[in-house]
Amino acid sequence: MKITIHLIIVFIMSSMISTKANASTRPHPSGNNNDFEVLMQKIRIDFAKNPSIDEDLKKYNEADGSFTDVDYSSIQRTNWPPLEHIDRLYNFVFAYTNPNNKYYKDEDLFTKIEQGLEYWHKRNPWCHNWWYNQIAEPQRLGILLIQMRTGEKQLNRELENKILERIKTDGGNPAKWTGANRTDISLHWIYRACLSENEADLKFALENVYNSIVYTTKEGFQHDNSYFQHGQQLYIGGYGDEILKGVTQIAMYAKGTQYAIPQDKLALLSKFMRETYYSTIRGQFMLFDVLGRGVSRPGTTKKTHTALFAKRMVELDPAHADEFKEIIARLDGKQPANYALTAKHTHYFRGDYTLHVRPTYTFDVRMTSNRTARCEYGNGENLKTYFMSDGCTNIVVDGNEYDEIFPVWNWTRIPGTTAPQVDEIPMAASDWQTLGTSTFAGGVSDSLYGVSAYSYTDSYAGINTSARKAWFFFNDEIVCLGAGIHSTSSYPIFTTINQCLSSTENAIVCQKGKVSAINEGISDYSSPEWILHNKVGYILPDGQQVIATNQVQTGSWYDINHSTSKDITQKKVFTLCLNHGITPERATYAYIVVPGIQSPEEMKSYRRKNNLEILVNTENVQVVRNKKDDIWQMVFYDAGEFTNKDMTVKTSKGCALIIKNMDKNKAEVHIADPAQSRSDITVNICTGKRSGTVNCDFSNSDIYAGRTQAFEIRLK
Residue 188, classed as helix, strand or coil, is: helix
pLDDT at 33 over 90: no
| Position 257 confidence tier, pLDDT thresholds 50, 70, 90 | very high
Q: In 238-290, which ranges are E strands?
A: 281-282, 285-286
Is residue 411 located within the same domain as residue 560?
yes
Residue 479's pLDDT is what?
A: 98
pLDDT value, residue 664: 87
Let me know if residue 206 belongs to a domain. Answer: no
Cα separation, 387 vs 427, in Å, equals 10
- At 97, is the pLDDT very low, low, confident or very high (cuts 50, 70, 90)? very high
Detail the DSSP E strand segments found in 88-177.
Answer: none
Helix axis angle for 239-254 and 199-211, nearest 10°, is 140
Residue 18: per-residue pLDDT:
38
Both 67 and 159 in one domain: the answer is: yes
Is the pLDDT assigned to residue 406 strictly greater than 50?
Answer: yes
What is the domain-level CATH number for residue 595?
2.70.98.10
Q: What is the pLDDT of residues 473-532, one digit of tens each?
A: 999 999 999 999 999 999 999 999 999 999 999 999 999 999 999 999 999 999 999 999
Same domain as 145, residue 224: no
Radius of gyration of the CA atoms of the chain, in A: 28
Domain presence at residue 194: no
pLDDT score at 30: 39
Is residue 394 domain-shared with residue 510, that is, in the same domain? yes
Residue 12, pLDDT score: 37
What is the residue-averaged pLDDT of the chain? 94
Domain-terminating residue out of 140, 171, 202: 171
For range 278-304, the mean pLDDT: 98
How far is residue 353's CA from residue 368's CA, in Å, rounded to a whole number? 8
Q: DSSP character for 422?
A: -
What pLDDT is attached to residue 450? 98
Query: Is 626 a member of any domain?
Result: yes
Please indicate, yes or no, whether residues 385 and 450 belong to a single structural domain of this protein. Answer: yes
Same domain, 434 and 475: yes
State whether 443 and 592 are in the same domain: yes
Give the CATH number of the domain where residue 676 resides. Answer: 2.60.220.10
Is the whole model's pTM more than 0.95, yes or no?
no
Domain end, chosen from 585, 602, 637, is at 637
pLDDT, residue 558, reads 98
Domain that holds residue 519: 344-637
The confidence band for 29, taking pLDDT boundaries of 50, 70 and 90, is very low
379 plus 418 within the same structural domain: yes
The residues near 394 (Cβ < 8 Å, ≥ 6 apart) are 287, 288, 289, 362, 363, 364, 402, 415
Enumerate long-range contacts of 164-169, CB under 8 Å, 24 or more apart: 164/192, 164/195, 164/196, 166/121, 166/124, 166/141, 167/138, 167/141, 167/142, 167/191, 167/192, 168/192
φ, ψ (nearest 5 deg) of residue 551: -160, 165
pLDDT recorded at residue 637: 98
Q: Quote the CA–CA distance of 492 and 225 in Å, as a whole number.
A: 38
DSSP 273: I
pLDDT at 34: 83
Q: Are residues 21 and 102 in the same domain?
A: no
CATH number of the domain where residue 285 is located: 1.50.10.100
* pLDDT band (50, 70, 90) for residue 404: very high
Q: Is there a domain that residue 457 lies in?
A: yes
Angle at alpha carbon of residue 59, lines to 56 and 65, rounded to 5°: 100
Looking at the fold, whether 286 and 380 belong to one and the same domain comes out as no
Residues 6+ away with beta carbon under 8 Å from 63:
none
Is 181 domain-assigned?
no
Catalytic (active-site) positions? 230, 239, 293
Is 417 strand, coil or helix?
Answer: coil
Number of domains in the chain: 5
Instruction: Measure Cα distances from 340 to 322, 331, 511, 596, 642 in Å.
Output: 10, 12, 38, 16, 40
Within a domain: 190: no
How does strand 281-282 pair with strand 655-660?
unpaired
CA torsion through residues 246, 79, 286, 435, sign? positive
Average pLDDT over residues 130-137: 96
Same domain membership, residue 118 and residue 19 = no
Task: Determine, yes or no, domain membership for 179.
Answer: no
Residue 291's contacts (CB-CB under 8 Å, 6 or more residues apart) are: 237, 238, 300, 301
Cβ atoms of residues 668 and 683 within 8 Å: no
Q: How does residue 9 score in pLDDT terms, banded at 50, 70 and 90?
A: very low
**Rounded (5°) CA angle 223-225-231:** 70
Mean pLDDT of 144-153: 98
Give pLDDT tens digits for 635-689: 999 999 999 999 999 999 999 999 999 998 999 999 999 999 999 999 999 998 8
pLDDT at site 244: 97
Q: Give me the pLDDT at residue 8, please.
A: 37
Q: What is the pLDDT of residues 442-464, one digit of tens each?
A: 999 999 999 999 999 999 999 99
Give the list of residues 6+ apart from residue 200 with CB closer than 8 angstroms, or none. none
C-alpha separations of 189 from 126, 162, 172, 219, 466 in Å: 20, 15, 9, 21, 49
Q: What is the pLDDT of residue 31?
A: 40
In a domain, 197, yes or no: no
pLDDT of residue 542: 86
Strand positions, DSSP E, 329-449: 344-348, 353-358, 361-366, 392-396, 418-420, 441-445
Written in H, E and C, the secondary structure of 314-336 is HHHCHHHHHHHHHHHHHHCCCCC
Same domain, 652 and 542: no
**Domain edge (last residue) among 580, 607, 637:** 637
Cα distance between residue 585 and residue 59, in whole Å = 65
3-state secondary structure of 271: helix
Classify burial at 666, counting beta carbons within 10 Å of its beta carbon; exposed 0-12, middle 13-18, buried 19 or more: middle
Section 144-154 average pLDDT: 97
